[in-house]
Amino acid sequence: AATAAEIEKQYADRAQPEAVKMLVAILRGSYMGPGEGWFGPAKSRYTWAWLAARHGLEPAAKGLPRAQFKGPPDLFARLDRDGDGTISPADLDWSDRSPYVQQAAMVTRLFRRMDADGNSKLSREDFEAFLKRAGGGKDYLTPDDLRAALLSAGPGGFLPGDGPTIPMLVKGLYASEVGSLHEGPAVGAPAPDFTLKAVDGKESVTLSKLVGPKPVVLVFGNFTCGPFRAIFPEADTLYARYKDRATFLMVYVREAHPLDGWKMESNTKVGVAVKQPTTTAERAAVCELFRDKLKPAMPVVVDDIADTAGNAYSGMPARFYVIDPAGKVAYQSGRGPFGFKAGEMEQALVMSLLEAAPAPKDDAAAWDRLPRPEAPPLPAWAVKLSESLPKTTARMLELDYLHRAENPLGNVLAARVRLAVAQALDSRYGVATATADLARAGVPAEPGADSPAVAFARKLTTEGHAVTDAEFAAVLKQYGPERTTALVHSVAYANFHNRIVLGLGVEPRPDPPVLVAFDAAKLAAVATPPRPPWDDVTKADHAGPRISPAWSKGGADALGTALAAQTDRALRIPLPDAARFEGLAGREKEQAQRILWNTVSSGYQPKMTRAWFACLGAYYEESKVDRVFTNSMFWVVTRTNDCFY
């Protein structure tokens, strides 16, 4: 416990790597249960939002009927998990809270208890032997008999002789037997290449040579992992189902429960008892035992004794990957055993096949015969802004729709907040659109019970530096951290958007939000109009009032004193739990770990945060403004507003 506390202290100001999370969990007495340590959900390009967008549905849609599905009927059936004729978000839910996943876990547990010879096939003899064992010689079972046979009384739910000790788990962690210390490639990253030999040692397989016209499915596993043996036949069934449309390859990796490691009596009882191989040849020999017992149909290669592929993909003790035809990771299952879900992998593969499917050749001709749908009218600001910043305009349209139609505050409160900000800034366009949104929702503009949020939005707009801790605490108490973060985002967006509209000088009109989802590749190819020479911009004589120099009074010493006082203050909002950041990667993860506001923002409202940074990134890409100028302007504006940020 003391060691765990010291480790957590060392990572107090940054996210813990997966291996550190697992070590801390073990030291605190974890029995390697779901959700503990590094056991988390899968990461996938393919979500309900992806499927809905592909079929022209709003993300909030409740289902995709069979008649609207753009793909073969057999693929629809694999996504419609409950078979009710409609693909819904629940059909794609593989989290531990899903009733289906919970039931499937119990079925797998029952299967393993009944599979007397461990070959992952239940025979009549297996059923009869289980009945005899569980019934104590009777030819029937009572509910108590079945519970006693399935629910172990040992620690962590293990059968006698299977439960680990803390030293055993620590040893297994550092030996990469309970899982690789590496984390594997992120979704969207290039799939690490490898060349491994088949079990007989004669032929070699290079992954990069498999990538191309079809998706690739990688199956990592080993002989002594009981859950892998139980689920592997499902993976082999998927190989038989999709072998003409995808390439399957199993990679045999380091043993999870060798005799000289975390030994399991349940393995010994079914004839699975081997030491950890010390050479690649020894590993190939154990792989032969696996093949003799389970008789896999898909091709199998053996990882070298240095665990090259197992570490590159974090494949121990069991894991699935789907790699798209471009060689990028499209799906990474959670770590085995809990994340090793063949059905989840199959759905990711199905959506990969949908993504790669070419458009029907007669699509263009069909469209010529049908009336094409009219594009929705663009807001006045988008028409004007797109002349100089088309990519930024595209991302702003997505951001605008999120804030006006899918706001976590609820669209009514979000409209009332935008109305308060627009009124404070004297933005007639902002007042017109917010009022129109409320009218479409059939509600009055008066805030009623949401008066505190509206008052907070108004004060944050006009004198944000004067918002007191007590005022913020009252908002936090009423709305909680997630909605309070969304409230701050909404106020910031309303200020940002109204100021741009005021600068563009567009006439007020009640433009509705426009549902758009721009393809990243196509958007990247959009040509941006040439920027005027920077010298011409800086030397131009701009008429209008000059900023007062009062913002610069006080000097560096006064600013340093004020900044130190600000730094010493307690946070107004609790930091999100570290588990909220498990799905982050790259720059998003770096920002969330380095800047406190990004920690709060990405933790409580990741969708809003991503949409904002997508818009900001598009602006920086195509505006080509001088960074010294932008940072200087940032300084002037924040100092004028008495904002320490």
pLDDT digits (tens, 9 = 90+) for 201-224: 889 999 999 998 899 999 999 999
The CA-to-CA distance between both ends of the chain, in Å, stands at: 38
Confidence of residue 579 (pLDDT cuts 50, 70, 90): confident
Quote the pLDDT of residue 470. 93
Lowest average pLDDT, out of 51-55, 134-138, 548-552, goes to 548-552
Residue 7 or residue 370, greater confidence: 7
Q: What is the 3-state secondary structure (H, E, C) of 244-304?
A: CCCEEEEEECCCCCCCCCCCCHHHHHCCCCCCCCCCHHHHHHHHHHHHHHHCCCCCEEECC
Give residue-wise pLDDT tens across range 23-65: 999 999 988 888 899 999 999 999 999 999 888 888 888 999 9
Give mean pLDDT, residues 412-437: 93
Cα(443)–Cα(449) distance, rounded to whole angstroms? 13
Instruction: Identify the helix (H) or strand (E) that includes residue 221.
Output: strand 216-221
Confidence of residue 636 (pLDDT cuts 50, 70, 90): confident
Quote the pLDDT of residue 508. 82
Residue 87's DSSP bridge partners are 64
Report whether pLDDT(543) > 60: no
Report whether pLDDT(566) > 90: no
Instruction: Identify the helix (H) or strand (E) that includes residue 167.
Output: helix 166-174
Instruction: Identify the helix (H) or strand (E) that includes residue 484.
Output: helix 469-504
Report whether pLDDT(373) > 60: no
Quote the pLDDT of residue 496. 93
Angle between helix 124-135 and helix 143-150 axes, rounded to 10 deg: 100
Give mean pLDDT, residues 104-127: 85
Residues of the chain with pLDDT > 90, as a percent, come to 54
Secondary structure class of 86 (helix, strand, coil): strand
Report whether pLDDT(477) > 90: yes
Residue 322's DSSP bridge partners are 217, 331
Report whether pLDDT(192) > 60: yes
Confidence of residue 549 (pLDDT cuts 50, 70, 90): low
Confidence of residue 369 (pLDDT cuts 50, 70, 90): very low
Report whether pLDDT(605) > 50: yes
Quote the pLDDT of residue 63. 94
Confidence of residue 359 (pLDDT cuts 50, 70, 90): very low
Quote the pLDDT of residue 582. 76
Burial label for 290, CB within 10 Å (0-12, 13-18, 19+), is buried
Residue 541 or residue 383, greater confidence: 383
Tell me which DSSP letter residue 530 carries: P
Q: Would strands 43-44 and 195-198 be described as parallel, antiparallel, or unpaired?
A: unpaired
Find where tokens 């969708």 sit.
607
Quote the pLDDT of residue 371. 54
Burial label for 517, CB within 10 Å (0-12, 13-18, 19+), is middle
* Cβ neighbours of 544 (radius 10 Å): 4
Give mean pLDDT, residues 320-344: 95
Report whether pLDDT(364) > 70: no
- Return mean pLDDT, the chain: 88
Quote the pLDDT of residue 308. 97
Give mean pLDDT, residues 55-77: 89
Confidence of residue 548 (pLDDT cuts 50, 70, 90): low
Confidence of residue 584 (pLDDT cuts 50, 70, 90): confident
Residues of the chain with pLDDT > 70, as a percent, come to 92
Confidence of residue 547 (pLDDT cuts 50, 70, 90): low
Report whether pLDDT(171) > 60: yes
CB 42 within 8 A of CB 94: yes
Report whether pLDDT(626) > 50: yes
Confidence of residue 418 (pLDDT cuts 50, 70, 90): very high
Confidence of residue 182 (pLDDT cuts 50, 70, 90): very high
Lowest average pLDDT, out of 123-137, 237-251, 556-570, goes to 556-570
Give mean pLDDT, residues 87-93: 96
Select, from the ranges 107-111, 256-260, 268-272, 618-622, the one with the highest average predicted confidence (pLDDT): 256-260
Report whether pLDDT(542) > 70: no
